[in-house]
Amino acid sequence: MQQVQLAIELVELGARIQVLESETELSRARLLKLYKEVRGNSPPRGMLPFSTDWFVTWLPNIHSSLFYNFYLQLTLVHGCQRMDGFVKAYRMYLEQMQLDGAEPVLGLTRAWTLLRFFESELLELMPCQSCGGRFVVHAHTPGQDFVCGICAPPSRAGTARRAFEGHHGERILPAAGLKVSGPAVGSPADVSGHIRGLSASRP
């Protein structure tokens, strides 16, 4: 059954129980049981702690922007349904981190919160005036002089930035629009083309 499959996939990727309750029609009891079966322990209790601010701090912002560009590409360009696109985009994000030898900063539950913040128009994408990539910002951020965290990293970010770039200079996210590589997404040029196309077609 599709709902169960989705729930299992989400739990495997690290979803908290609130995500499952929102995105499936399965009962809480069923979800708890499922969660225990997949993870081998009970889900953590409590509310989701995330605010929009986390997504606009330097390194989380780069990761969040990459993930959300994947999501838009899958849903708007490739026609994936919302949750299908979400799960695929999250897998692409993890794959990209693996290719870059970087630690994933964006957990699945956070990625889902990000999606919800976009859907409630608390966050939006803003083109970087330097590289043209589109990055997550608070809604209603003035955009005239916006420069992203890759083009203008904070000085203390040097070490983290190198770690993020890994040993493949060409695999940093940056320049012509959040370049990404990997079998699922075509060439970097294709992707930056898609992202620019998206920015042209969205209000």
The residues that touch Zn ion, with contacts defined as CB under 5 A, are: 128, 130-131, 148, 151
- H-assigned helices in the chain: 2-12, 17-23, 28-39, 53-56, 58-72, 82-100, 108-119, 158-165, 188-201
Identity of the residue, 64 or 113, whose beta carbon is nearer to Zn ion in the bound complex: 64
Q: How far is the CB of 96 from Zn ion (least distance, A)?
A: 17
Q: How far is the CB of 151 from Zn ion (least distance, A)?
A: 3
Q: Give Cβ neighbours of residue 177 (< 8 Å, ≥ 6 apart).
A: 131, 132, 133, 134, 191, 192, 195, 196
Identity of the residue, 20 or 137, whose beta carbon is nearer to Zn ion in the bound complex: 137
Identity of the residue, 85 or 174, whose beta carbon is nearer to Zn ion in the bound complex: 174
Identity of the residue, 130 or 199, whose beta carbon is nearer to Zn ion in the bound complex: 130
Q: Give Cβ neighbours of residue 14 (< 8 Å, ≥ 6 apart).
A: 107, 108, 109
Q: How far is the CB of 1 from Zn ion (least distance, A)?
A: 44
Identity of the residue, 51 or 141, whose beta carbon is nearer to Zn ion in the bound complex: 141
Q: How far is the CB of 133 from Zn ion (least distance, A)?
A: 5
CA distance to 1, 22, 63, 198, per residue, from 137 (Å): 37, 25, 13, 17
Long-range contacts made by residues 129-133, C-beta under 8 angstroms, separation at least 24?
A: 131/174, 131/175, 131/176, 131/177, 132/176, 132/177, 132/192, 132/196, 133/65, 133/69, 133/173, 133/174, 133/175, 133/176, 133/177, 133/178, 133/192, 133/195
Q: How far is the CB of 33 from Zn ion (least distance, A)?
A: 46
Q: How far is the CB of 65 from Zn ion (least distance, A)?
A: 10
Identity of the residue, 106 or 128, whose beta carbon is nearer to Zn ion in the bound complex: 128
